[in-house]
């Protein structure tokens, strides 16, 4: 099946997310759509999938114009999509999710569970996508959830499969497996639109590459192009792909996390006796796939989450039971991973967001009232210093782009001297320009003598910034490795495998500290 997009234009209000985009996907090819965050890739694919109605342009299948009123039409035409944020019902089983919308019935709308299960098993066997049909989605790791999404599309006979940033949530090994699946699908005649902003992957698997910038197609590239070429095409200027930083000189231990254990409301041990320490002038990275306890651990450190065991000290002071206010006063800075939800208040102005943690200090208040003048002056200075692109300091925080919101949060947290800085996913959804800036500021903070804990699921970011790396897997730090460790080794750790060549002292510092190992319950593989 040949798919063609001609002059697709999509506007959100006055903002043009897709501007007359042309794209041809030939039968049986892997076509990469490369572009920065916010370039308009997802929007384009949502148009193709019938979720958005284009303001202009047309879609052609095998040279015939088609129009989609909704996803049902797109699926009927042979288009399948794996969304960037999975479209799976967490409390449903795999089979139920796959069936939803095209249910196998015994007639009269009565579900035929056995037939559904058989169908799932068949398709997953045919393409080597093993999924457990009866497991609940919420119990599955994202890699498996992604396979469920693919099975879901294939069961509906997708001839063109759209994968929107499929590797963002995967370990390097899982990414390799996904690429293998993509090749299998291609061999069986399915075309794939592969959306990503990661250059290595594009070059490894794509037959053809279309680059999108600010809603426009800016060129085609061959998979043989160098990373630097692709990057500059994507960003529109030459970019520096590596992070510059001097050798680090660690000082005293600043923060100590000792046998911390967190159990969530469902009774899952999300952080399992984790211990590590961070020195002054050091960036300690907590690497790992999303959902392995990093979020909970950082929330616990800044006092947002009670511990079920263990101790946290900051400069020798026990802060385990202190509240957030006291912990911030102890010179801890925190850049949360969900900046719109936890990092700032969308309806507050830029200026207000910059003093959220200090509005009550003498600096910004006059008796019981706020010192609006000082707050505004502070905002102008910070906005300048951190290159926050905003119309004014009185614009609501929600009107800023992702990268600028992140710089806003960083500007607030770095505006006081810190002993410990915790940054979680600092560059997720952030454009390349802002990413460079944010990385430089983090390194500068380290060089200024602060201890930094970096939580990141991006391996490149971890490798570029960290002086020491703890890899989290299922709530444990299963390995701690120095900077310069190969991506391969860290990838294995992220997938839960401790490589044999790893020196014993580097393995599982949590377990050695307690002298015990807890067993992890794993369900039988299929």
Ligand X SMILES: Nc1ncnc2c1ncn2[C@@H]1O[C@H](COP(=O)(O)OP(=O)(O)O)[C@@H](O)[C@H]1O
Q: Are 361 and 303 in contact (CB under 8 A)?
A: no
Nearest of 156, 161, 159, 153 to residue 45 by alpha carbon: 161
| CA torsion, ordered 223, 227, 231, 234, to nearest 10 deg | 10
Return contacts of 16-24, CB within 8 angstroms, 24+ apart.
16/215, 17/43, 17/215, 18/43, 18/44, 18/47, 18/54, 18/215, 19/214, 19/215, 19/216, 20/56, 20/57, 20/216, 21/57, 21/212, 21/215, 21/216, 21/217, 22/217, 23/210, 23/217
Residue 236 CB, nearest approach to another protein (Å):
28
Q: Which is nearer to another protein, 120 or 319 (CB)?
A: 120
Q: How far apart are the first and last CA of the chain?
A: 33
Q: Which residue in the set 19, 25, 52, 351 belongs to the binding site for another protein (CB under 8 A)?
A: 52
HEC string for 234-266: HHCCCCCCCCCCCCCCCCCEEEEEEEEEEECCC
Give the Cα separation of 383 and 369 in Å (integer): 24
Site string for Mg ion, 23-52 (x = CB under 5 A): -------------------x----------
Q: Which of another protein, Mg ion, ligand X, none has residue 479 at its interface (CB below 5 to 8 Å by kind)?
A: none
Residue 165 CB, nearest approach to ligand X (Å):
7
Q: Which of another protein, Mg ion, ligand X, none has residue 65 at its interface (CB below 5 to 8 Å by kind)?
A: none
Q: Which residue in the set 40, 166, 496, 510 belongs to the binding site for another protein (CB under 8 A)?
A: 496
Q: Which residue in the set 27, 90, 189, 448 belongs to the binding site for another protein (CB under 8 A)?
A: 90
Structure token pair of residue 111: 């579900």
Residue 512 CB, nearest approach to ligand X (Å):
42
Binding part of the chain for ligand X, among 41-49, 64-72, 359-367, 468-476 by CB under 6 A, reads 41-49
Residue 111 touching another protein (CB under 8 A):
yes
Nearest of 202, 261, 271 to residue 233 by alpha carbon: 202
Residue 457 touching Mg ion (CB under 5 A):
no
Give how far the C-alpha of residue 90 lies from the chain's centroid of Cα atoms, to the nearest Å: 19
Which is it for strands 451-456 and 253-263: parallel, antiparallel or unpaired?
A: unpaired
Give the Cα separation of 286 and 276 in Å (integer): 10
Residue 269 touching another protein (CB under 8 A):
yes
Residue 519 touching another protein (CB under 8 A):
yes
Q: Are 498 and 507 in contact (CB under 8 A)?
A: yes
Residue 178 touching ligand X (CB under 6 A):
no
Q: Which is nearer to another protein, 49 or 334 (CB)?
A: 49
Residue 152 CB, nearest approach to another protein (Å):
8
Residues 55-114 that bind Mg ion (CB under 5 A): 84
Q: In sequence order, what DSSP letters do the residues of 326-382 get, joined into one string?
A: HHHHTTEEEE-S-IIIII--TTSBHHHHTTTTTTTSGGGEETTEE-HHHHHHHHHHH
Q: Which residue in the set 21, 36, 42, 83 belongs to the binding site for another protein (CB under 8 A)?
A: 83
Residue 41 touching ligand X (CB under 6 A):
yes
- Exposed, middle or buried by CB within 10 Å (0-12, 13-18, 19+), for 186? middle
Q: Which residue in the set 40, 403, 479, 491 belongs to the binding site for ligand X (CB under 6 A)?
A: 40
Give the Cα separation of 363 and 381 in Å (integer): 15
Residue 135 touching another protein (CB under 8 A):
yes
For tokens 């897997």, name the residue.
Answer: 473
Which is it for strands 253-263 and 160-164: parallel, antiparallel or unpaired?
A: unpaired
Residue 167 touching ligand X (CB under 6 A):
no
Binding part of the chain for another protein, among 234-242, 381-389, 394-402, 495-503 by CB under 8 A, reads 495-503
Q: Which of Mg ion, ligand X, another protein, none has residue 489 at its interface (CB below 5 to 8 Å by kind)?
A: none
Give the Cα separation of 409 and 342 in Å (integer): 10
Residue 140 CB, nearest approach to another protein (Å):
6
Q: Which is nearer to another protein, 124 or 390 (CB)?
A: 124
Q: Which of ligand X, Mg ion, another protein, none has residue 110 at its interface (CB below 5 to 8 Å by kind)?
A: another protein
Q: Which residue in the set 5, 23, 25, 37 belongs to the binding site for ligand X (CB under 6 A)?
A: 37
Residue 42 touching ligand X (CB under 6 A):
yes
Q: Which is nearer to ligand X, 17 or 285 (CB)?
A: 17
Residue 102 touching another protein (CB under 8 A):
yes
Residue 39 touching ligand X (CB under 6 A):
yes
Q: Which is nearer to another protein, 306 or 417 (CB)?
A: 306
Q: Which is nearer to another protein, 180 or 385 (CB)?
A: 180
The number of beta carbons lying within 10 Å of the beta carbon of residue 457 is 24
Q: Which is nearer to another protein, 100 or 395 (CB)?
A: 100
Q: Which is nearer to another protein, 63 or 265 (CB)?
A: 265
Q: Are 232 and 257 in contact (CB under 8 A)?
A: no
Residues in contact with another protein, total (CB under 8 A)? 71
Give the Cα separation of 379 and 350 in Å (integer): 7
Q: What are phi and psi of 495, to 5 degrees?
A: -90, 5
Residues 10-29 that bind ligand X (CB under 6 A): 12, 15, 17
Q: Which residue in the set 219, 291, 396, 499 belongs to the binding site for another protein (CB under 8 A)?
A: 291
Q: Which residues bind Mg ion (CB under 5 A)?
A: 42, 84
Q: Which residues bind ligand X (CB under 6 A)?
A: 12, 15, 17, 35, 37-43
């Amino acid at each position: 099946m040949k798919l063609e997009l001609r002059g697709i234009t999509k506007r959100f209000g006055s903002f043009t997310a897709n501007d007359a985009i042309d794209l041809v996907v030939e039968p049986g090819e892997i076509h990469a759509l490369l572009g920065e965050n916010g370039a308009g890739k997802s929007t384009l694919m949502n148009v193709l999938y019938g979720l958005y109605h284009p303001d202009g342009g047309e879609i052609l299948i095998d040279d015939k114009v088609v129009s989609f009123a909704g996803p049902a039409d797109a699926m009927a035409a042979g288009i399948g999509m794996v969304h960037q944020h999975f479209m799976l019902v967490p409390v449903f089983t795999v089979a139920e999710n796959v069936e939803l919308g095209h249910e196998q019935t015994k007639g009269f709308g009565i579900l035929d569970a056995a037939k559904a299960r058989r169908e799932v098993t068949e398709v997953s066997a045919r393409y080597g996508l093993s999924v457990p049909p009866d497991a609940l989605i919420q119990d599955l790791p994202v890699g498996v959830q992604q396979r469920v999404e693919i099975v879901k599309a294939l069961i509906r006979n997708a001839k063109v499969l759209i994968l929107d940033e499929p590797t963002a949530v995967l370990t390097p090994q899982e990414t390799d497996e996904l690429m293998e699946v993509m090749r299998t699908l291609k061999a069986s005649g399915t075309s794939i639109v592969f959306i990503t902003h990661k250059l290595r992957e594009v070059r490894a698997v794509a037959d053809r590459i279309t680059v999108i910038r600010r809603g426009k197609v800016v060129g085609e590239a061959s998979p043989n192009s160098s990373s630097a070429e692709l990057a500059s095409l994507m960003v529109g200027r030459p970019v520096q792909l590596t992070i510059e930083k001097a050798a680090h000189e660690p000082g005293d231990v600043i923060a100590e996390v000792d046998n911390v254990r967190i159990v969530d409301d469902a009774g899952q041990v999300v952080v399992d006796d984790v211990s590590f320490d961070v020195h002054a002038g050091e960036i300690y990275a907590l690497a790992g796939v999303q959902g392995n306890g990093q979020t909970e651990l950082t929330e616990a450190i800044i006092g947002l989450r009670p511990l079920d065991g263990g101790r946290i000290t900051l400069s020798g002071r026990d802060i385990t039971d202190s509240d957030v206010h006291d912990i911030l006063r102890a010179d801890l800075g925190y850049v949360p991973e969900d900046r719109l939800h936890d990092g700032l208040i969308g309806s507050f102005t830029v200026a207000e967001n910059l003093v959220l943690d200090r509005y009550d200090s003498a600096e910004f208040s006059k008796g019981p009232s706020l010192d609006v003048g000082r707050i505004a002056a502070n905002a102008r200075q910070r906005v300048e210093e951190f290159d926050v692109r905003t119309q004014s300091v009185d614009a609501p925080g929600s009107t800023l782009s992702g990268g600028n919101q992140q710089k806003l949060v960083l500007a607030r947290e770095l505006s006081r001297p810190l002993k410990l800085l915790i940054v979680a996913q600092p560059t997720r959804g952030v454009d390349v320009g802002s990413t460079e800036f944010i990385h430089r500021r983090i390194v500068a903070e380290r060089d200024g003598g602060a201890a930094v804990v970096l939580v990141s699921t991006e391996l490149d970011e971890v490798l570029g910034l960290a002086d020491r790396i703890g890899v989290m897997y299922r709530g444990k730090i299963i390995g701690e490795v120095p900077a310069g460790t190969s991506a391969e080794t860290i990838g294995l750790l992220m997938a839960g495998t401790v490589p044999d060549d790893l020196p014993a002292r580097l393995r599982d510092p949590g377990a050695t500290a307690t002298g015990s190992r807890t067993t992890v319950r794993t369900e039988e593989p299929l």
